[in-house]
Copies of this chain bind each other. A is one copy, B any other.
Amino acid sequence: MKKIINDPADFVDEMIEGILLAHPDKVKTPGDDPRILVRADAPVAGKVGIVTGGGSGHLPLFKGYVGQGLCSGVAIGNVFSSPSSQQCFEATKAVDGGAGVLYLYGNYGGDVFNFDLAADLAELEDIETRTVLGRDDVASQPNERKLDRRGVAGIFFAYKAAGAASERGDNLDEVAAVAEDVVEHTATMGIGLAPTILPTTGALSFDLPDGEMEIGIGIHGEPGIHRGPLEPADKITERLVGALVEDLGLVDGDRVAVLVNSMGATPLEELYVMYRRVHQLLAEIGVSIERKYIGEYATSLEMAGASISLLKLDDARLALLDAPAVSPFFQEV
């Protein structure tokens, strides 16, 4: 156990308490339950609300993306565990400004179950909802089954675009369409080098011998597509970028946004070594990088590993990425 925590049972609530103490100008809890966090100015009248959620342990995902130009609210569970349907519903009510609420979260069974129940509860109170699932992990399912893919770091792009669409006054169907369009054009693949220690039990989140890597690993340690001896950064990056380029069908002249994401322990230095190779590989095939995001965007506590996400751009998606956004963890100005 190499963790700066108190009683493991208090980990999530103490972390949230810290966020609320640090950022009272940006976020608040709408009621008594600290697991529900919304924009400080929620609900925003006439604007579509956006609710996300999932397990704790992925900061800045999910709590970090609540703010202007991003999500309106979030419901979170214990580490790597879904929030309850009641929590999702409470978040929905707290952000509803009369224009309906988009549920935008990663494709995991528990989250889908609870958000779907929340949608039923919302309907009883005449709050209209739509659901768009982040499903960008190309290693989790082949392209022909892409609707079943897990959601990982690439959901950042969908938050950014949907948040911008809401801010400019798009209606619920339009915001949902923007999110769906971005998800459709986003692909991510990760690599894991070492697991996370789960705070509650002290157990490892997955098993991976020292000196090995797993290509395509999920952010909870879900199995990938290749396990073997750790390879050089360039070779790893070629594997990841190759899969993403193929999945998105990128060709000469295409434009992308790139997200090189640390899953926790992997330092910025290594992300830049990877970015260097991403840049070279895309340049070789004539794909231009219009925007880049390099750092911790979706982690798994202190897991060692990284992921690369590509969003295929058109002018509309690029404009939405560039729209202003402010949260405790992300700023676009």
Contacts and interface: CB of A to CB of B under 8 A. Distances in A.
A275 to B, nearest CB: 4
Nearest to A56: B269
Contacts of A279: 18, 21-22
Interface residues of A, number: 56
Interface of A: 1-7, 11, 14-19, 21-22, 56-57, 59-60, 64, 191, 193-194, 210-211, 230, 232-234, 236, 264-276, 279, 292, 294, 296, 299, 301-302, 304, 306, 329, 331, 333
Nearest to A23: B292
A253 to B, nearest CB: 20
A266 B15 contact: no
Nearest to A192: B2
Contacts of A22: 272, 275, 279, 292, 294
A230 B1 contact: yes
Given A21-B275, A269-B11, A272-B22, A4 B301 contact: no
A191 B5 CA distance: 13
Given A269-B15, A273-B11, A5 B233 contact: yes
Contacts of A272: 14-19, 22, 59
Given A230-B1, A333-B331, A59 B267 contact: yes
Q: Is the interface of A mostly helix, strand, loop or mixed?
A: mixed
Contacts of A270: 3-5, 15
A7 B170 CA distance: 50
A301 B269 contact: yes
Contacts of A274: 4, 18
Given A4-B191, A4-B233, A276-B21, A57 B269 contact: yes
A324 to B, nearest CB: 10
A73 B232 CA distance: 31
10 contacts: A5-B232, A17-B276, A18-B273, A18-B274, A56-B269, A57-B267, A60-B268, A264-B267, A265-B265, A302-B304
Contacts of A1: 211, 230
A332 to B, nearest CB: 9
Nearest to A21: B279
